Chains A and B, each alone.
Chain A
């Protein structure tokens, strides 16, 4: 399976066929629903869209584990995606603008879920409040008599939707390859399972096969760590797994020491969670220079050094997942960051706004007749 194309196809058709199916239905729906002079198979498109939504819902329900956050996440993203589809397929530009407002509002919900309340407010005000309204004004100003080519036709609907979905597939594949946490989640689950066993033998049975071959498990663990990027952090964690493997083979299995085994399991779990929290092939560059006003910089080590001394500047982390928690005074931090580290960019942004205002007035204010 060295052929990348074959690998890509296998990823699409065999490993993740439900998602591929949903995407294919979405493609059919978008393709059929794009505006056309003759209605076309619009009903089929609607049916495909409905089917895709149903399938997605089923997939979500199957995954289970509903917390408030998960429900909100799915709600907001679902609304955003549906409204996005409506925006693309709606032939009336005014309705498309309203769909866009819906997209923006649900994205704002997602922002809120991600501890960005200021952004939520700003986006709502700027996009939904200002830009969409301006759009509606322009739609009103530039209203054509009767039906127009612009709204009733699409330029190459098949080619466009195909391109869009191939792009989506490529992005999903990259995300899966670089950010998918399935392997490390499996490994953590096995460690947690082993931790609950009373004796070292049973623990070993969870890790290895009958012949006490633990090498496969530890190799898989290391591979799962390294999949999330070849950062210094990942290398350190991988080394930690080496030590734990030695302890496991040298002390736990040989001496049948259950307490030692539990300790190794706990440490393995810690390593796994840390790896999971720093997952991703895109890592911030190591030399980003930022002041303390902006909170912990992107290149700050996510975890205190290995010698175990408590670091007063370290991030507070979620107890279960080791994911860092955002500071409570979120907006204050953002403001401080903007007016210290990003001051020049803010000033430039302001200048840009001024220039854009002048430009817009100069362009739109010009009196030119048709065909001028």
Chain B
């Protein structure tokens, strides 16, 4: 019986890559953008491992290991940078950082207001049981 052909794996890698690209382009949270970029790397890793399998050697796997290494470094630096950026602006929104635009170009702002945050569900309260302790006399400390 034929095993799963090479290009099936390549297609999975391509889908992960494309989804990551969409996430990177559309999402505005720096962390989610970064996760999307990592997902693109995963797609590439699947490709490389598949190639290694179908050439019968280990070079693709070795390459994937280096991708892992670089991704770890990248994560460390990027998360540190994200923390810095968050400290500066108090938000993870990447759209706050658009100083690189042409001089005279109006900044891109969101016109539609955000909906109010959903109301917190009130925590259930238990009816008190036992004795109610007597209220203490207010004593003056003057």
Chain A residues engaging chain B, CB cutoff 8 angstroms: 30, 34-35, 37-38, 65, 67, 69-70, 73, 77, 80-81, 84-85, 87-88, 90, 93, 96-97, 100, 103-104, 107, 110-111, 113-116, 118-119, 122-123, 126-127, 130-131, 134-135, 138-139, 141-142, 144, 146-157, 159-161, 163-165, 167-168, 171-172, 175-176, 179-181, 277, 279-280, 284, 288, 290, 294-298, 300, 302, 315, 318, 320-321, 323-326, 330, 333-334, 337-338, 341-342, 345, 349, 352-353, 355-357, 359-361, 363-364, 366, 368-372
Contact = CB atoms under 8 A, between A and B. Distances in A.
Interface stretch (B12-20, B121-129, B131-139): B12-20
B88 interface: yes
A122 to B, nearest CB: 6
A93 B31 contact: yes
Contacts of A352: 69-70, 73
Contact of A144 (B53, B68, B92, B110): B92
Given A147-B115, A155-B95, A368-B87, 20 more contacts: A81-B16, A88-B19, A88-B20, A96-B29, A110-B49, A119-B61, A142-B82, A146-B117, A148-B92, A153-B28, A153-B114, A171-B17, A179-B10, A288-B59, A300-B57, A302-B55, A321-B3, A326-B53, A338-B65, A368-B84
Given A110-B12, A155-B26, A100 B53 contact: no
A160 B26 contact: yes
A150 B62 contact: no
B1 A65 contact: yes
Contact of B117 (A77, A141, A147, A288): A147
A61 B116 CA distance: 46
Interface of B is mostly: helix
Given A144-B92, A155-B25, A294 B17 contact: no
B16 to A, nearest CB: 6
Given A96-B32, A161-B26, A181-B7, A84 B20 contact: yes
A84 B58 contact: no
A30 B15 CA distance: 13
A119 B79 contact: no
A97 B21 CA distance: 16
A331 to B, nearest CB: 10
Contact of A154 (B27, B39, B54): B27
Interface of B: 1-12, 14-23, 25-32, 34-36, 38-39, 42, 45-46, 49-50, 52-59, 61-62, 64-66, 68-77, 79-84, 86-95, 110, 112-115, 117
Contact of A114 (B14, B20, B49, B114): B49
B66 A349 contact: yes
A333 B62 CA distance: 10
A324 B72 CA distance: 32
A154 B80 CA distance: 24
Nearest to A283: B55
B68 A323 contact: no
A103 B68 contact: no
Contacts of A159: 25
Given A138-B79, A161-B26, A368-B84, A122 B68 contact: yes
A194 B77 CA distance: 61
A159 B25 CA distance: 9
Contacts of A87: 19, 23, 32, 35-36, 39
B8 to A, nearest CB: 7
Given A80-B16, A296-B56, A298-B55, A181 B5 contact: yes
Contacts of B28: 149-151, 153-155
Nearest to A300: B57
A213 to B, nearest CB: 30
Contact of A360 (B39, B57, B79): B79
Contact of A110 (B5, B9, B114): B9
18 contacts: A30-B22, A73-B4, A87-B19, A87-B23, A110-B46, A119-B65, A126-B71, A135-B75, A139-B31, A148-B29, A150-B30, A168-B14, A181-B7, A280-B54, A326-B53, A341-B62, A363-B84, A372-B88
B11 A175 contact: yes
Nearest to A78: B12
Q: Which of B22, B45, B59 has the most CB of A within 10 A?
A: B22
A34 B56 CA distance: 41
Nearest to A95: B32
Contacts of B110: 149, 153
A306 B8 CA distance: 30
A152 to B, nearest CB: 6
Contacts of A155: 25-28, 94-95
